[in-house]
Amino acid sequence: EAQVTQNPRYLITVTGKKLTVTCSQNMNHEYMSWYRQDPGLGLRQIYYSMNVEVTDKGDVPEGYKVSRKEKRNFPLILESPSPNQTSLYFCASSYIGRTRETQYFGPGTRLLVL
């Protein structure tokens, strides 16, 4: 089954404790992206990747890191989480090209930073 998986689905942590949210897709997509969703603000892009070893900032990259060492994986790293990073996070993937194929979203990771 074609899918995007994220782990963990729920996470409670404390300020400053480094964490990683994993994202994996099995569709051989070149493009992967991370979004955060907050009430009233919609989906905001954090980072995206066009292919292995190619990443770029989205609209709200501060406080986040990403890496793309393998095509299927795109982990999101919070080196020193703060309460304002409490949010719902979505990973997404797609093929790339002129028609800009649809993005497939993962199930989401709900993060609470105390």
Partner 1 sequence: QQPVQSPQAVILREGEDAVINCSSSKALYSVHWYRQKHGEAPVFLMILLKGGEQKGHEKISASFNEKKQQSSLYLTASQLSYSGTYFCGTSQSNFGNEKLTFGTGTRLTIIP
Binding site for partner 1 (CB under 8 A): 31, 33, 35, 40-45, 48, 50, 56, 58-59, 90, 96-100, 102-108
| Least distance in angstroms from the C-beta of 27 to partner 1 | 13
Nearer to partner 1, 53 or 79 (CB): 53
Output the smallest distance, CB 79 to partner 1, in A.
23
**Nearest CB to partner 1, comparing residues 75 and 106:** 106
> What is the distance of C-alpha 54 from the center of its chain?
15
Q: Nearer Cβ to partner 1, position 48 or 64? A: 48
| Distance between CA atoms of residues 53 and 78, nearest Å | 19
d(CA 25, CA 27): 6
Q: Which residues contact 35 (CB under 8 A, 6 or more apart)?
A: 43, 44, 45, 46, 58, 89, 90, 91, 92
